[in-house]
Chain A
C-alpha cells in the first residue's frame, strides 16, 4: 500500500537530510506506528506519502502508484484515498460537527444525497451520533478528535494517516481514540500513526517503525515504543 524505496529528502540549506535512504513497505490493512524523536523524520515521511513533498532521491509508491513524478492535477485524486488526522484536530470553528464532516465530501463534489446518508453513518461510527449539531468548541478534546477522524474517514480512504492523534489528549481519552482507529483498521484501511505516546504503543501492540536522524533503525512486527524521552 505504501512503499519507500531508498528515499532521501533534503531540505534547502546545509545539514543532514531529513530522511536518508529510507526503505519501508507497508501492506494493505496494516496498522503501523512511526516512532522517533522530534526531528527524526516522521512528519517528513507522512508528508511524502501525501505528496506535499517530493523526495530528493528514491521512489515513493502509494496505492500502487509511484507518486514522485505524478502530475500536479492528479494529486487531489491521490489524496482522496488518504485520510489525515492531526494532533490539533484542525476543525472549522464556524461549522457544526456534521458540517465539518460533510465539508470533506462537499469539496470533492459528492452529491447531497450521498452526504446526507454517509455523514450520520460516520458520526455513528465515531460515537457522535447525537452531536452532529454541536459546534466544535462545545466538545471535549477527545470528541473533537473523533470529529477529525470522522472527517478523515468519511470518504472511506484506503489509508489513514494520523500525526500524533493522542498528543493533546489524556490517557483515558487516548484509549478511546485508539480503539476507534483500531475499528477503522479492521475495515481494511491501512493506518499509519506517528506518535510519541509510548503508553499507547506499548498497550496496543502493532508493527513499529522507528526513525532516528532520518534512518530506519528498527522495524518490528509487534514492537514496543522502545526508548524513553
Chain B
C-alpha cells in the first residue's frame, strides 16, 4: 500500500470538506470538554468522599488518653484511652443497629493524615509542624466510619453510641455534605447530558461528512472497486480523515480542560473553598485516559471512527 498516495488522498479529502471538518471539530471539542468536565466533577466527588466521607457517613471518634470532652463534663471518656472491651461493645452496637449498612475502623494515623491534609489546604498545617506539637498521631482519636442505610435515619444509632463508654465525639456532616454532593451530582449529570446531545450532533455531522465525501469521490471509488482495491484501501482516507478530526478535537478539549483545572480549580475554587479537597493533575490524566468512564482520548476517536467504519461499509461496499 502506497503511503504517499494515501496521504495525498487524505490531504485532498481534508481540504475538500474543510468546513464540514471544522464544524465536526468544534462540536467534538465542546462535547468532549463537557464529558471531561463531568468526569472531573465525579472525581471531585470521589476525592471529597475519600476525605470527608459521603452523605451517608458519620464518624464516631473514640476516646483518647486526655480526651477534651472530659473537660466539657462528658463522662464517656473519663476512663482515658478507649479499651478493647469498649471497642468490642461499640462494634456490637453498630452490628446490631438496623440503621447501619456497614462500618470501618479508622486508625489514629489515618485520622491524623486526613486532618493534616485538610490543614494543609486551609493553611493550618503549622499547628501540626511546630516543635513539640500538641497534635500528634498518638493524641489523635481513632474512630469508626459508619455508613447508614438511608440518610434520614441515624438518630437511633447516634443516641445509642453517644451513651457508650469509649465514644468521644460523633461527627455528623451529612447535612452540609449532602448539599455539596447534590450540587456535584447535578453538575456531573448536567455535563454528561449536554455532552451526550453534542456528541449525537457530532455523530450526525460525521455521517454527513462521509456521505458528502463519498459523493464527491464516487467516480474514484467506482474505479478503485473495479480495479480491485481492497475495502480497507478505499476506506482508509475516510478513516484517516476521521482520525485527524478526532485528534484535533481531543487535543483542543484536553487543552480546554487543562485551562479549566489550572485557572478554574487551582487558581479559583481551591483558593476560595479550602475545606474541600480538590481534583489535581492525576485526576486530569484520568479524565483523558481513564478506562471508566472512558477518557476523552478514547471517546473522541471512538465517536468518529466507529460511525466512519459503519458508514464507509455502507457507501463504498465492494
Contacts and interface: CB of A to CB of B under 8 A. Distances in A.
B223 A79 contact: no
Contacts of A103: 220, 223, 227
A157 to B, nearest CB: 9
A1 interface: no
Contacts of A24: none
B1 A92 contact: no
B2 A109 contact: yes
Contact of B219 (A92, A111, A112): A92
Nearest to B229: A107
A80 B227 contact: yes
B223 A92 contact: yes
Interface residues of A, number: 26
B260 interface: no
A75 interface: yes
B134 interface: no
Contact of B318 (A75, A112, A155): A75
Interface in B82-110: none
B224 A107 contact: yes
A7 B4 CA distance: 43
A79 B226 contact: yes
A90 B222 contact: yes
Contacts of A109: 1-2, 233
Contact of A155 (B4, B227, B230): B227
A108 interface: yes
A73 B231 contact: yes
Nearest to A86: B226
A107 B228 CA distance: 8
A189 interface: no
B314 interface: no
B216 to A, nearest CB: 11
Contacts of B1: 109
A155 B229 CA distance: 12
A39 interface: no
B220 A92 contact: yes
Contacts of A90: 219, 222-223
Contacts of B4: 112
Contacts of B223: 90, 92, 103-104, 107, 151
Interface string A87-100: 00010100000000
A78 B233 contact: no
A76 B317 CA distance: 11
A155 B234 CA distance: 18
A93 to B, nearest CB: 8
Contacts of A92: 219-220, 223
Given A90-B219, A90-B222, A92-B219, A108 B318 contact: no
A143 B2 CA distance: 28
A166 interface: no
Contacts of A224: none
Count chain B CB atoms within 10 A of each CB in A50, A73, A75, A108 and give the residue with the most.
A108
B225 interface: yes
Interface of B: 1-2, 4-5, 219-220, 222-231, 233-234, 318
11 contacts: A75-B318, A78-B228, A79-B225, A79-B226, A83-B227, A84-B226, A107-B233, A107-B234, A108-B227, A108-B228, A155-B227
Interface of A: 50, 72-73, 75-84, 90, 92, 103-104, 106-112, 151, 155
Given A72-B231, A76-B228, 13 more contacts: A50-B226, A79-B227, A84-B226, A90-B219, A90-B223, A92-B223, A103-B223, A103-B227, A107-B229, A108-B229, A108-B233, A109-B1, A111-B2
Top 7 A-B pairs ranked by shortest CB distance?
A: A80-B228, A79-B228, A107-B229, A104-B227, A76-B228, A109-B1, A106-B5
